[in-house]
Amino acid sequence: MDANWIAIAASIVLQSSPLIIAVCGETLSERAGVVNLSLDGSLLLSAMAGFAAAYVSNSLLLGFLAGAGVGALMALVVAFGSLALRQSQVAVGFVLTLLGDSLSAFLGQNFTRLPGIWVPRLPIPWLKDIPVLGPIVFNQDLVVYFALVLTLASTWWIFHSRPGLALRSAGERPEAAFARGVAVRKLRYAYAVLGGALVGVAGAAYSLDVKIGWAEGHTRGLGWIALAIVIFGGWSPLRGALGVLLFVATRSVISVVLQRSLGESSVVVLNALPWLLMLLVLLVVSGRLGGQLLARLPAPLQRPLRGLMQAAPPAALGAELKEG
Amino acid sequence: MRVELDKISKSFGPVQANRGISLTFEAGRIYGLLGENGAGKSTLMKILSGYQTPDSGRILLDAVPQQFRSPLDALAAGIGMLYQDPLDVPPFTVLENYLLGQPGGLAIPRRTAADQLRQLGQHYGFDVHPHERIEDLSLGERQQLELLRLLSGGAQLLILDEPTTGISAEQKSVLFNSLRDLARKERKTLILVSHKLEEVQDLCDQAIVLRQGDYVGGAKLPCPSRKLVNLMFAELPRRAPRPRPVAGTPQLELRDLVVRTPRLALQPVDLSLHAGEVLGLAGLEGNGQELLLRACAGLLPLAGGELRLAGQRQPRLDYLAARKLGLHYLAAGRLEEGLVSGMTLAEHMALVSQNGLFVDRAASRAQTRRQIKQYQIVARPGSRVEELSGGNQQRVLFGLLPDDAQLILAEHPTRGLDLRSSDWIWQQLDLRRREGAAILFLSADLDELLERSDRIAVFSGGRMSRLLDARQTSLNELGHLIGGGA
Amino acid sequence: MTRPAWLAQLWTLAPVLAALLLTSLLLVAFGASPAEAFSAMWQGAFGSQDRLLTTVAFWIPLLLSALGLLVSFRAGLWNIGIEGQFILGAIGASWVALSLQLPAPLQISLEVLAAMAAGALWAALAGLLKRWGVHEIFGGLALNNLAVILTNFMISGPWQPPEGGSFRGTAPFHADALLPLVGSTRFSLVALALAGLAFGLVLLALRNSRWGLRLKALGRNPRSARLLGVSSRRETLLAMAFCGALAGLGGALRVLSWFDSLRQSISGGIGYLALMVVILAAFRLFWTPLVAFFFASVLSGSIVLQLRTQLHSSLGDILTGVMVLLVLLFGNREVLQTWWSEVRSARRTPGRQS
């Protein structure tokens, strides 16, 4: 493989990592039945908080902790609003999205465009020497390794561990979970907050690693992309992570091709690309377009492919918890 | 284990569901809990199994007072409840569903747990496949799994809520045999909640009858059924006689009709339904009768074949177009699919019966008042539909049917209603049919099918049986066909 | 309830006061005096007749968007795409303004119609996407971003002013294409009249029309609505288009009276703000203009605040955002009481309702 392509692949992996972390976090939360729609605002605010904390304290660890704390707090508000006060998750999440955006602009006004600290590269001995895979995956930094481990660990946790059973049952059939002794409400709080903290880590990973620094609207739009990729991934972290890689790779490749062929005016197409991709992917995954494509395939292929392409959301996702 | 209920009371708002009920259940016996809808059976059993807490009164196990905070508490103390709609997780595998809530390490020991589950099944005579998905199982199989879960959780007293609704005759006899074994061999206590007298007579040692929240008496079984009926009803409901069918013009004709969903394909159906005729569809849930009914209403797309309404071919039928041709669909879930919570009766009336750009409030109120009178609905025009009881909601739905309905398709028209309301619903349907409407309905209640239809079609695995004459068939024949016999 | 009713009414104010308090704390943290800041905001919004009229001029497009949202929310739709519909309205009006030269009344009528059509079409697109299985939140959001990108493309491409792209907008429209303004403000009586008309129309649609009843049924229970003869396809598209048309009208007023040309951030988030207005007004028609006016005052005040104190202008957004959040969470006293009693009684009685 061309060294140039390897460099591009490595940068795709690096750029995907925060988004993967956010997708894993949101997947955990939605599997438990809580939609945290505030992702876009959470990412912005935690990116700002992470940068500011690291800048002031000169400590990366404090930066990431601040990001995680902010993300967890936002998720806690969504969870509290829906689980305790029975308000619409969508409404609370939407308001928090805007509030997070404006808070990040206001609180971050004195941290704009400052040189900060960043996550250093940390090649893993031995593994980095594997041909192709080594330089792409193992010659990276801790954020990338964290995303990798998180993806595998959360996939195992959700689908193959005993607590994962409780997690999924709370999102699919809370009354059955309750009958087996699962504390559904507590569990939903816990995973919502954990998911929010991961989103916060993702936000800090942007300002401290992938898009180093802070400016107003630093990550605007990425939260919505993450929410769409959770759907694309069929509420599985592994498939979500693949979705992120696919998304970032498509964008990188098309941007390289476009810049060569179109020059100046490519910027318009390039900016529009993520949103067109998002629409297309959602049409295929959850929409009628996907169904029509499937219907044209030979019958024996249809069922397994439908399972692969079109996953159903957790049945009780976003539903009010009925008790008493 | 000896279980005592001591003066249990519970009310929901103004409704007193249980009023100072005291009962004793002995080990090794099977009890039948009888009563009309709203008699308080479910509430009492939910209290016993830890889903609800009583307002006052005590539960004693072997003379020790207990306080259940959750169903898990109750199960730990030896009381388990099997619901009509099993409390399982549909996308899980049988094994995952079994392991949910059981203590153990982080990882799932799939192989050993699967072996354990199979052995447990063998012990109670059930055939268990640990890696199948719950959503692919029949209702009967799901009940068996729930039973296994409760038994392995240490249940000494088992409550079964209408366990025979929606399972086949064969599955029912398997179930009853294992229940008898549980009582005789393992000394378990069983409580069967039912309003089917024959079942209670068949299985139980003793009957317990509730009426409007009170315990009104019991009887050693078997005993004359009339005695139980007299206890259940303060006044005996009168049953309307079945009218003679009036054969008219064909309202609905199906030729080689095919419907496909990812879960089930309905084999080609040929059928014709005439004005003034009642056709019943029998079968276990998910065997294709629901698909047929929905496809006839344009609520599901056709995958092939021909459908005619009043002689007119309808290649791409849509429900809204079908309504204009006089077809009306009554779904089973009244507040889920039928009425709109938060809207008043008068608003419903204005929605379906008025034309023009603006709502004529006075007219819709007047019309609603007339319907309330005619259909004996306990409500005012300004009442919201969710404030009404189930029976009254069903009456409202009938009040919303226009006078010129030609073809009425109904899912479970009397599910969850007491005898009086059911009988009233059928009087209304008979009235419609005498005016020339054709009626196609599906039901899980074989008695209702036999008593109310002119002809019956039975569905099994997506295949429709030949059409049976309701006067000449029997419960046995229906049960045989439902189980997949020819 | 034994306590007097006015106490319950008063409770609604508690989250509002809490929001003011929190924002004050934020100001103190940034070394600014809350009293000075709020008085600067007051001055900015109402300090003179011109300022008041400017606030009103900001209020009108916001109100139009919020009125549209009342209709789409009635049908149960989260029309987050209203921001894009607003922008498309601005683009539609600009298109007519830049390509035609007619007598003012005709010119302006055509601009307004084009704007409403463009907004309605953009909204219908989100409605179509929903029919094809893409939730309106995601569809709307993608369309919002595409609308912004389209604006940038038009400004830097086909509609670039002759002197080049240094100025972030098109060249100013000719005088007959713009709304007549009052004095040196951005306030136009025509705009106010159009907003009044829209209010009457929405009132009629929601309170008295059969269409409003159909939307209500659809919004509360789409499955039941279908069995009662309501076409969800048709009504969804119509409700979206209606909302989009009003938002498009708002966008037109923005280019034809607030500005005099199509600018890069022509909306500046008015669509999102309208969503907040409607949520804070709890979807009630008569509260909507009041809440929208409050929002308009805060935002036009915070522009002056920024000029005076050098503090970021997002302070106004924070004040309104915190207020909406707190009202959403704590505004309903009964909900709070239920929750508090649940917390206090450790004994839980879960399970399904019988």
Interchain pair A177, B104: CB under 8 A:
no
Q: Which of A85, A101, A222, A269 has the most C C-beta neighbours within 10 Å, making it the best mutation to test the interface with C?
A: A85
- Residue-wise pLDDT tens digits, A94-129: 999 999 999 999 999 999 989 888 999 999 999 988
The full set of domain ranges for chain A reads 3-309
| Residue C162, C-beta contacts closer than 8 angstroms, at least 6 positions apart | C171
Interface with C, mutate which of B329, B351, B411 (most C CBs under 10 A): B351
- Minimal Cα distance from C351: which residue of A? A323
| Closest-CA distance of chain B to residue A182, Å | 6
SS3 content of chain A, % helix, strand, coil (to 5): 75, 0, 25
Res A322: pLDDT: 53
By Cβ distance, the residue of B70, B331, B359 closest to C227 is B331
Q: Touching C: which chains, 3+ CB pairs < 8 A?
A: A, B
- For residue A247, the model assigns a pLDDT of 92
Q: What is the pLDDT of residues A23-81, one digit of tens each?
A: 999 999 999 999 999 999 999 999 999 999 999 999 999 999 999 999 999 999 999 99
pLDDT value, residue A19: 97
SS in 3 state form for C159-172? CCCCCCCCCCECCC
State which residue of chain C sits closest to B321, comparing Cα positions: C229
Per DSSP, the residues of C245-291 read HHHHHHHHHIIIII-SS-BTTSSTTHHHHHHHHHHHTTT-TTHHHHH
User: With contacts defined as CB-CB under 8 Å, which chain C residues touch B329?
Assistant: 227
∠ Cα B206 B209 B212 (to 5°) = 165
Task: Provide the pLDDT for residue B240.
Answer: 56
pLDDT of residue B20: 92
Would you identify the CATH topology of the domain A3-309? Answer: ABC transporter involved in vitamin B12 uptake, BtuC (1.10.3470)
H or E element at residue C40: helix C34-46
Please determine, for residue B416, whether its predicted confidence score (pLDDT) is greater than 80. no
Average pLDDT taken over every residue of chain A: 89
Architecture of the domain made up of B237-326+402-486: 3-Layer(aba) Sandwich (3.40)
Cβ pair A166:B99 closer than 8 A? no
Q: Which of B87, B91, B106 is closest, CB to CB, to A161?
A: B106
As annotated, the residues of chain B forming the CATH 3.40.50.300 domain(s) are 3-232, 237-326+402-486
pLDDT of B243 higher than 70: no
CA-based nearest residue to C333, from C6, C7, C8, C2: C8
Cis peptide before B222 (omega within 30 of 0): yes
Q: What is the pLDDT of residue A103?
A: 96
- Stretch among B65-79, B204-218, B226-240 having the lowest mean pLDDT: B226-240
Answer whether B329 sits within 8 Å of C227, measured CB to CB. yes
Q: How much is the pLDDT for C345? A: 65
Distances (CA, A) of B140 to A131, A169, B479, C30: 56, 21, 14, 67
Question: Mind telling me how many Å the CA of B330 is from chain C's nearest CA?
Answer: 8
Least CB-CB distance to B341: which of C220, C227, C348? C220
Best probe of the B interface among A31, A157, A159, A165, by most B CBs < 10 A, is A165
Going by DSSP bridges, is the β-strand pair B455-460/B278-283 parallel, antiparallel, or unpaired? Answer: parallel
Cα of B471 to nearest chain C Cα, Å: 33
In angstroms, how far is the first alpha carbon of chain B from the final one?
45
Min Cα–Cα distance to chain A from B76, Å: 10
Nearest chain A residue (CA) to B80: A179
Residue C203, exposed/middle/buried by CB under 10 A (0-12, 13-18, 19+)? middle
Three-state DSSP class for residue A122 = coil
What pLDDT, on a 0 to 100 scale, did the predictor assign at position A275? 92
Instruction: Note the pLDDT tens digit of each residue in B375-405.
Output: 888 888 988 998 887 778 888 998 898 888 9
Instruction: Give the per-residue pLDDT at B118.
Output: 93
Give the ipTM of the model, two decimals please. Answer: 0.91
Compute the nearest-CA separation of C188 from chain A (Å). 30
Residue B479, SS3 per DSSP: helix
Average pLDDT over residues B220-237: 76
A187 near B CB under 8 A: no
Q: What region, left, alpha or beta, does residue C283 occupy, with left being phi > 0 and alpha being psi -120 to 50 degrees?
A: left
Which chain B residues are within 8 Å of C230, Cβ to Cβ? 351
Cβ neighbours of B352 in C, within 8 Å: 228-229
Q: Which residues of B touch C345 (CB under 8 A)?
A: none
| Phi, psi dihedrals of residue B483, rounded to the nearest 5° | -75, 0
* Inter-chain touch A179–B100, beta carbons under 8 Å: no
Pick C26 or A296 by higher pLDDT.
Answer: C26
Closest CA–CA distance from residue B103 to any residue of chain A (Å): 9
Of C180 and A266, which is predicted with more confidence? C180
- The residue-averaged pLDDT of C203-210 equals 94
C139 and A279: CB-CB below 8 Å?
yes
**CATH fold for the domain made of B3-232:** Rossmann fold (3.40.50)
pLDDT on residue B285: 73
pTM: 0.90
Cα dist. B286→B138, B266, C67 in Å? 8, 11, 45
Cβ contacts below 8 Å, chain A against chain B, sum to 64
3-class secondary-structure state, position A138: helix
Residue-level pLDDT at A287: 67
C120 vs C153, higher pLDDT: C120
Contacts of B51 in chain A (CB under 8 A): 179
Asked if B99's CB is within 8 angstroms of A162's CB, the reply is yes
Residues 76-95 of C with CB under 8 A from A: 78, 80
Nearest-Cα distance to chain B for C147, in Å, is 34
**Residues of C with CB below 8 A from B53's CB?**
347, 349
CA distance A219 to B190: 61
Q: Give the strand order in the sheet containing B56-61.
A: B15-25, B3-12, B56-61, B64-66
Which is more confident, C70 or C333? C70
pLDDT at B41: 87
Q: CA of C234 to nearest chain B CA: how many angstroms apart?
A: 11
Q: E strand or H helix at B458, and its extent?
A: strand B455-460
Which of chain B's residues have a Cβ under 8 Å away from the Cβ of A303?
Answer: 262
Inter-axis angle of helices A39-57 and A60-79, nearest 10: 150
